[in-house]
Chains A and B, each alone.
Chain A
Amino acid sequence: MNAPAYNFAYLDEQTKRMIRRAILKAIAIPGYQVPFASREMPMPYGWGTGGVQVTAAILGPQDVLKVIDQGSDDTTNAISIRKFFAKTAGVATTTATDEATVVQTRHRIPETALNANQVLVYQVPIPEPLRFLEPRETETRRMHALAEYGLMHVKLYEDIARFGHIATAYAYPVKVNARYVMDPSPTPKFDNPKMDNCPALQLFGAGREKRIYAIPPYTQVVSLDFEDHPFEPYRFNAPCALCGAENSYLDEIVTDDKGGRMFVCSDTDYCEGRQAAGHHGALSAAPYKEKAQEASNG
């Protein structure tokens, strides 16, 4: 017998208990980073070991799992994690946001609004928003204890002094429940408003840094800003070239070496859903154009 016998969802039960206790504390103290004994996972750090451990601890046989990487369901990271749980937990997987009960994400929040029956699990590389301003853990911990976040405002101010606007475009710091300043993981700041008052539970796992934190449903999440330089979400000023969406977050794709480029939705499920519904953009694939024409002709 050489066949590997895994426990349900890979992790052993003692590890799951430890992670589950950390998750409960994280929910009780919104935005606070709870230390946990992160395990080695059968994938390298940086591939979402934190998110994978959180997902493994909450996942049950009834769950439907969706995994996205930068909004896409079909990149290496997303596929390998989805297959990992399909194999070790036997759960159903999906690419449709509204069918999923657990969505593990690397650096995007789906465009489709989440509902109260869903849990969003973020993969986090550096959980400490103050880390690049203050390298010492003892000091950042003290700063969180005292709610001393002046340094973060100085950083944003330096952006304004140098560029004339807040140039931070991703991992844009937020304040959770008017207390803890939190790193939303390197999501584009376009996604920050979706975290505020979200009906779904949001869990964050950082495997290498050994931290778990959470935003409970319906919790106030405010992006830090200044009265005269209010927070502004950023998106390329173009419609999606495939589905024509005017309000989704776009990826810029270089198409040749002569400066050609196209902008497409970063959320592949959202984009495909819109195309299937007959929306089309300037560079839509033919079948969708035909469909749209048929619809307009008849």
Chain B
Amino acid sequence: MTTIAELPPGFADKVLSAQSTFRSVMDAMARPGSVQRIVPMAGAPDTMMRGTAAIALTLFDHDTPLWLEARMAESSDVVKWLKFHTGAPVVQDCSIASFALISDGAALPPLERFALGTSEYPDRSTTLIIQVESLVSGRGFELRGPGIDGVATLQASVKPFDLFERLHINEALFPRGIDVVLVADDAVVAIPRTTRVVSKGS
């Protein structure tokens, strides 16, 4: 049983750390495929990477229903830490979640189950935050779309292996769709719904 005193801490400087983390995430979202670093450090519980923890502290609050993938939901440390530091309600139904945290990509549910937004309000969709092995090495991908000057390349080792194929649903759904933030330790890459990703050489 962890008491609150034993929980890993949040940001040392709430205001400026959140600002710096947000700018990294904003730059990642505005320039899909670019690897941004999250500088400010917060304590991260259990299966949560430090980048994920910083994003949680920056973007989550009582207005953002949160869905946790099983391995995170089972960890009472993660749930307690999120509850104490962000106050975000954890929901079981991923179709009403603002954010979804996924530590084990293999357990990612079909993307259609998340909130995709509506045609009138495409912004009412779930943003997936997926922890991956690496964003600097692994398979090569080519990205095209708004925010990218021509083609961007990304080397990443992600699970599920077919994540980017699955994200092709965004093409037909647009302007509805799923935005993804990939986190590997302190590195962040965003794949907004407008980005088209193909494997290099395919």
Contacts and interface: CB of A to CB of B under 8 A. Distances in A.
B25 interface: yes
A129 interface: no
B16 to A, nearest CB: 7
A111 B19 CA distance: 29
A21 B59 contact: yes
A145 B15 contact: no
B185 interface: no
Given A17-B59, A58-B23, A218-B147, A34 B123 contact: yes
B103 interface: no
Nearest to A22: B123
B183 interface: no
Contact of A16 (B18, B146, B175): B18
Nearest to B118: A145
Contacts of A220: 146
B41 interface: no
Interface in B118-142: 118-123, 125, 127
Nearest to B127: A24
Given A58-B23, A218-B147, A141 B120 contact: yes
Interface residues of B, number: 40
Most chain B CB within 10 A, of A7, A20, A57, A146, is at A20
B146 A218 contact: yes
A60 interface: yes
A215 B29 CA distance: 12
Interface string B83-125: 0000000000000001000000000000000000011111101
A27 B58 contact: no
Given A20-B22, A34-B123, A146-B119, A13 B15 contact: yes
Interface in B6-26: 14-16, 18-20, 22-23, 25-26
Contacts of B194: 28-30, 177, 216
Given A14-B61, A29-B175, A146-B119, A219 B146 contact: yes
Contacts of A144: 120
Nearest to B19: A60
A219 B38 CA distance: 25
Contact of A24 (B20, B29, B147, B174): B29
B59 A199 contact: no
Interface string A59-82: 111000000000000000000000
A288 interface: no
A144 B148 CA distance: 25
B196 interface: no
A89 to B, nearest CB: 10
Nearest to A200: B30
Nearest to B174: A179
A7 B123 CA distance: 28
Nearest to A57: B22
Contact of A217 (B31, B58, B63, B98): B31
A249 interface: no
Contacts of B177: 28
30 contacts: A13-B15, A13-B18, A14-B61, A16-B22, A21-B59, A23-B26, A24-B59, A28-B177, A28-B179, A29-B175, A30-B146, A32-B122, A35-B121, A35-B123, A58-B22, A58-B23, A60-B16, A61-B16, A116-B31, A141-B120, A141-B121, A145-B118, A145-B119, A177-B146, A180-B175, A216-B30, A217-B30, A218-B147, A218-B148, A218-B149
Given A28-B194, A217-B146, A218-B146, 19 more contacts: A8-B19, A17-B59, A17-B60, A20-B26, A24-B25, A24-B26, A24-B59, A24-B179, A25-B179, A28-B177, A29-B122, A29-B175, A32-B175, A60-B16, A177-B194, A216-B31, A216-B147, A218-B149, A219-B147
Interface of A: 7-8, 13-14, 16-18, 20-30, 32, 34-35, 57-61, 116, 141-142, 144-146, 177, 179-180, 199, 201, 214-220
Interface of B: 14-16, 18-20, 22-23, 25-26, 29-31, 58-61, 63-64, 98, 118-123, 125, 127, 146-150, 174-175, 177, 179, 192-194
